[in-house]
A and B are shown apart, each in its own frame.
Chain A
Amino acid sequence: MTTLSFTKTSRFTKAPARLGKAGTAAAVVVAIAVFAAIFGPWLAPGNPDLPDLQIAWVGPAAGHLLGFDFEGRDVLSRLLAGAQSAMLGPLAVVVLAMAGGTAFALISAWRRGATDAVISSGMDVLFAFPGILLAVLAATVFGAGLVAAAVALSIAYLPYVARVLRAAALKERNQPYVQALEVQGASVPRICLTHILPNMSRMIVAQATVLFGYAMVDLAAISFLGLGVQPPAANWGVMISENEPGILQGYPLPALAAAACVVFVVIAVNVLGERLLEGEGHR
């Protein structure tokens, strides 16, 4: 008598996406950023928070690869320390926006008809609010800070996620295998969670990475405006704004280094997302 097992081996992912050279490079960059976000404060060679105006704007020197910022703090250390909030903020936005957007997408796709129409109209209304505007509103109402900014951005991104995922959810929902389960009398949550959602997983992950890039730029901009993370906390967006005067004074490195971090991570995350999406569509 053969023994059967119904463990994970019976569930399968679709054929894996190929990363290619660009994708692998992007994955490496993202990995470094994640590593820095987790271990940054301990990796920092110097103290990211201790000002010493005597050495403000001093260029790269031994042990201080990127020099010092406008308050004499080691730029490299500050970048590493700032990685945490720079990465966590977008992560929070992505988690909230994806969770909310996916939920709405599934409900829309499952119920179709009037429910779908109402949700889609609601999403269209939300679309009208740009993320930064909502963040400014949140800052005026709740005070400046990362949490308010992140929540505001999640609300702004939610309709985008809902719209994109609604199409994928509808496609799965209309498949005969879902209908076969309906006919079996399977409960709606069961069908959505064990069947529809997993078959959308690649799309969801790909969208999440793209969203991460947007969130990072938007949050950096919000911090740059002074509405997000507050100085003297380390954060790449804050660093750009703090050290901006240095660019015109002939000390561009601190500001540009922070900007470069944002740019590289956003590009890497976007490329990774695109690579993952490319695998989508193979059955």
Chain B
Amino acid sequence: MPDVLAVESLRKEYGDLVAVDDVSFAIGDGESLAIVGESGSGKTTIARMIIGLERPTGGRISACGNDRSTPARSASKRRQRGREVQIVFQDPYTSLDPRHSAETAIDEVLRIHHGWQPERRQARVAELAGLVGLDDRQRAVPPRSLSGGQRQRVAIARALAAEPKILILDESVASLDVSIQAQVLNLLADIRDATGISYLLISHDLAVVRQLTEQVIVMQKGSVVERGPTGAVLDDPRHPYTRLLRESVPRPGWQPRRRISALPVGD
């Protein structure tokens, strides 16, 4: 069975700046991989190139065996790609059209991909809304009446409506309260159990990465510095940057140390 996602020697340049430098990885069917890094690491750029919102400068991307290194030519090709890879963005407040309820948003996606009768669409909308835990009221109201966590559920349901093989979660739980984050992480695990979907998790939060994925790659300034099974990399980091990331996570007894000490005055 081919990998659901394969990325080879991916590169992105913005003028002189190399945002992504020779990145390769693959995600198998049903597997979940995390890309960990801080700002400037290139992790979000990689996600945007895979989903088609940015164009790679070099390298290849293929999903479900189909190459997607260059922009799609036709509308039907774009729809086809939409059925392979989908994305949930970080900010629940701008990732939904403020004028459309969850029902309308999910229904629209169904109409884009299928020529179904309204009854069949309605049934599927109800199914998806139920899957992500939205009740009757929450399905029908505008996003401004929903909390951040509820909006993310809508965004997840909308992404799943296309029945993708792989879902990119671009810091999708980072803006959520801790108690809500836990609910959404559990939901994502449940969805994976039910559908066998793969996740590509983009995150700076190592604990979330540990909870949701079994493979991880660590990025710094555009390059991969370490990769491996999530547990192994986090328990026993090899690369100095990974160690630094691990050390920077607050925990009982944590003593943050300065890397740049106080500078003398009058230089």
Direct contact of A and B (CB under 8 A): yes
Within 8 A of B (CB), among A7-27: 9-14
| B89, A176: Cβ atoms closer than 8 Å | yes
The residues of A that contact B118 with a CB separation of less than 8 Å are: 6
Known contacts A176-B89, A176-B94; A4 and B122 CB within 8 A of each other? yes
Known contacts A2-B126, A12-B99; A185 and B155 CB within 8 A of each other? no
Task: Indicate the size class of the contact surface on chain A.
Answer: 20 to 34
Judged by a CB distance under 8 angstroms, whether A205 is at the interface is no
The residues of B that contact A14 with a CB separation of less than 8 Å are: 98-99
Q: Pick the contact of B75: A12, A13, A180, A185 (CB < 8 A).
A: A185
A176 vs B143: C-alpha distance when bound (angstroms): 14
The residues of A that contact B136 with a CB separation of less than 8 Å are: 2
Judged by a CB distance under 8 angstroms, whether A175 is at the interface is yes
Q: Pick the contact of B89: A180, A185, A190, A194 (CB < 8 A).
A: A180
Judged by a CB distance under 8 angstroms, whether A179 is at the interface is yes
Shortest CB-to-CB span from A4 to chain B, Å, is 5
Judged by a CB distance under 8 angstroms, whether B113 is at the interface is yes
Judged by a CB distance under 8 angstroms, whether B57 is at the interface is no
Judged by a CB distance under 8 angstroms, whether A54 is at the interface is no
A176 vs B85: C-alpha distance when bound (angstroms): 16
Judged by a CB distance under 8 angstroms, whether A199 is at the interface is yes
User: Which residue of chain A has the shortest Cβ distance to B101 in the bound complex?
Assistant: A10
User: Which residue of chain A has the shortest Cβ distance to B89 in the bound complex?
Assistant: A176
How many A-B contacts if CB must be within 8 Å? 92
Q: Pick the contact of A10: B78, B86, B103 (CB < 8 A).
A: B103
- Selected interface stretch from B20-28, B104-112, B212-220: B104-112
| A195, B97: Cβ atoms closer than 8 Å | yes
Judged by a CB distance under 8 angstroms, whether A125 is at the interface is no
A181 vs B142: C-alpha distance when bound (angstroms): 18
Within 8 A of A (CB), among B14-61: 51-53
The residues of B that contact A181 with a CB separation of less than 8 Å are: 108
Residue-wise interface mask of B (73-93) relative to A, using a CB-CB cutoff of 8 A (1 in contact, 0 not): 001101111110111010101
Q: Pick the contact of B99: A2, A3, A185, A198 (CB < 8 A).
A: A198
| A187, B75: Cβ atoms closer than 8 Å | yes
User: Which residue of chain A has the shortest Cβ distance to B161 in the bound complex?
Assistant: A184
User: Which residue of chain B has the shortest Cβ distance to A4 in the bound complex?
Assistant: B122
A185 vs B51: C-alpha distance when bound (angstroms): 11
Residue-wise interface mask of A (159-189) relative to B, using a CB-CB cutoff of 8 A (1 in contact, 0 not): 0000000000000000111011111111100
| A6, B103: Cβ atoms closer than 8 Å | yes
The residue among B108, B126, B136 with the most chain A CB atoms within 10 A of its own CB is: B108
A182 vs B162: C-alpha distance when bound (angstroms): 13
Residue-wise interface mask of A (119-162) relative to B, using a CB-CB cutoff of 8 A (1 in contact, 0 not): 00000000000000000000000000000000000000000000
| A183, B53: Cβ atoms closer than 8 Å | yes
Judged by a CB distance under 8 angstroms, whether B201 is at the interface is no
A11 vs B91: C-alpha distance when bound (angstroms): 21
| B103, A183: Cβ atoms closer than 8 Å | no
| B100, A11: Cβ atoms closer than 8 Å | yes
| B87, A183: Cβ atoms closer than 8 Å | yes
Q: Pick the contact of A184: B82, B95, B140 (CB < 8 A).
A: B82
The residues of B that contact A9 with a CB separation of less than 8 Å are: 140
The residue among A177, A186, A190 with the most chain B CB atoms within 10 A of its own CB is: A177
User: What are 9 contact pairs spanning A and B, CB under 8 A?
Assistant: A4-B140, A6-B118, A13-B99, A176-B94, A177-B96, A181-B108, A184-B112, A185-B76, A185-B78
Knowing that A2-B136, A183-B86 are A-B contacts, what are 4 other residue pairs whose CB atoms are under 8 Å apart, sorted by A's residue number? Answer: A1-B126, A6-B104, A10-B104, A184-B112
Please list the 6 inter-chain residue pairs (A to B) with the smallest Cβ-Cβ separation, ordered nearest first.
A185-B79, A185-B82, A185-B78, A12-B142, A10-B104, A176-B95
Residue ranges of B at the interface with A (Cβ–Cβ < 8 Å): 51-53, 75-76, 78-83, 85-87, 89, 91, 93-101, 103-104, 107-109, 112-113, 118, 122, 125-126, 136, 139-140, 142, 144, 155, 158-159, 162
